Amino acid sequence: MMELTIVSFTCLIALLVNIPLGYWRSRVRKFSLKWFFAVHLSVPFIVFLRIEMGVSLIWIPITISSAVIGQFLGGSIEII
């Protein structure tokens, strides 16, 4: 049960970190250097967080899915 709580927290952080990065990604030219950084900037942080919290390798697809959802949500934000 404790591992599920830690995995949930890690996925929530991955999602929240990627929302502003997804917003940034949607506002820059596709496949440019800025776009590349917007897509990949959170990866070292998420890997560090996963290792420090002791999340096993089996949860990597779920964590990646959370990051992708955060990118999608951030990209769909419209500022009025």
Q: Are 58 and 10 in contact (CB under 8 A)?
A: no
Taking the domains of the chain in order of start, what are their residue ranges? 7-75
Tell me the pTM. Answer: 0.91
- 79 exposed, middle or buried (CB, 10 Å; 0-12, 13-18, 19+)? exposed
The pLDDT profile of the chain, 80 residues, written as one tens digit per residue, is 788 999 999 999 999 999 999 999 999 999 999 999 999 999 999 999 999 999 999 999 999 999 999 999 999 997 75
Which residue carries 């942080």 as its tokens? 45
